Amino acid sequence: MSVLMVNDRYDFNSLKELLNTTDGNLASHLKGLEKEEYIIVHKTFLGRKPNTTYESTERGKKAFKQHLDALEQLIKQQKSS
Amino acid sequence: MEEKEIQNELASIRSLMERSSKFISLSGLSGILAGVYALIAAGLAYNIVYSGSSRVYTRINLHTDPVPLYNLIAIAAVTLLLSVVTGVILTTKKAKRKGQPVWGKISQSLLFHMATPLVTGGIVILIFLFRGYYGIVGPTSLIFYGLSLVSASNFTFTMVKYLGICEIILGLIAACLPGYGLLFWAIGFGVLHIVYGSMMYLKYDR
């Protein structure tokens, strides 16, 4: 989600390289995000090669921001205790 | 969640965001070298323009003083070429060392955003040169270069943006003081590059 917050679209292979993970691992995480409707999937073709790109949804962006806010809250709590 | 874990998560989020959208292999060392080349070139140009005369540096009027224009253009071109080649070589080496791709979406965007003001500026300067307006070459080259840096900074280190703004301001000041073009070039392409190159080297190259 971090990557999709700062890039309009990101393709599967670049994600794989960036996150240094396997096809299967990445695919299952992406499926999970898609199920929550945090990302949408664009399946296109480059010539004859399939090219899948991902884009975060408004819902996904909102959820991510909430996640960051929650983390921030936790830090504040830790600091004051 | 422990505080340490939270910090780690925030750090990795930030790192992912940066690595996926910014070109972090830009070499600060190449900036320092570019500055050195520029200062050497400025020294050569100074000698050429003022050789044979006993004058200390004063204003020069390109319409009346005898100035070997083509020599100066050659010096500028060689300096530029050397700087670019050095930059490409050092940046490629740094990218390999970091395991980052040299050529990709990010570096392409970076180059495009840098090239647009540079090419435009280059054409504008050539047009004015052919029309005989020599005085604007110094200031406008600094200004367009600064604009290209500010634009490119969106795709690489933020520090580049400040270098760009400095070059723009320098160019504007140079525009108010015709005749001191060489001095401003020495400052803008020489000194500023060494300063910012060093800052980038210390912060990012190691």
pLDDT of res. B55? 47
Residue B143 has pLDDT above 80, yes or no: yes
**Residue B74 contacts A, CB cutoff 8 Å:** no
At B86 the three-state DSSP class reads: helix
Q: How far is B29 from chain A (nearest CA, A)?
A: 26
Comparing B24 with A36, the larger pLDDT belongs to: A36
Q: Is the dihedral of CA B140, B141, B145, B146 positive or negative?
A: negative
Q: How far is B206 from chain A (nearest CA, A)?
A: 21
pLDDT of res. B67? 59
What's the CATH code of the domain at A56? 1.10.10.10
Domain count, chain A: 1
Residue to mutate among B6, B23, B100, B108, with most A CBs inside 10 A, is B6
Size of interface A-B (CB pairs under 8 A): 40
User: Can you tell me the mean pLDDT for B166-178?
Assistant: 90
* Per-residue pLDDT tens over the stretch B37-75: 999 988 888 887 766 454 444 455 555 555 566 777 788
Nearest CA in chain A to B17: A3
Residue whose entry in the numeric block shows the structure tokens 């400095």: B166
Could you say which DSSP state residue B65 is in? S
Band of residue B192 on the pLDDT scale cut at 50, 70, 90:
very high
ipTM above 0.95, yes or no: no
pTM of this structure: 0.74
Could you say which DSSP state residue B191 is in? I
Q: How far is B104 from chain A (nearest CA, A)?
A: 10
Q: Which of B6, B20, B21 sits opposite A75 (nearest CB)?
A: B6
Mean pLDDT of chain B: 83
Residue B105 has pLDDT above 50, yes or no: yes
User: Can you tell me the mean pLDDT for A55-72?
Assistant: 88
Band of residue B165 on the pLDDT scale cut at 50, 70, 90:
very high
pLDDT of res. B149? 93
A18 contacts: CB under 8 Å, gap ≥ 6: A3, B16, B19, B20
Mark yes or no for CB contact B6/A68 under 8 Å: no
Band of residue B12 on the pLDDT scale cut at 50, 70, 90:
confident
Q: How far is B20 from chain A (nearest CA, A)?
A: 6
HSE on the CB side for A75, CA within 13 Å? Answer: 13
User: Can you tell me the mean pLDDT for B140-145?
Assistant: 92
**Residue B108 contacts A, CB cutoff 8 Å:** no
Mark yes or no for CB contact A74/B6 under 8 Å: yes
pLDDT of res. B62? 53
Nearest CA in chain B to A8: B21
Structural domain harbouring A67: 2-80
**Residue A70 contacts B, CB cutoff 8 Å:** no
Comparing B134 with B191, the larger pLDDT belongs to: B191
Band of residue B193 on the pLDDT scale cut at 50, 70, 90:
very high
pLDDT of res. B172? 93
B151 contacts: CB under 8 Å, gap ≥ 6: B113, B114, B116, B117, B164
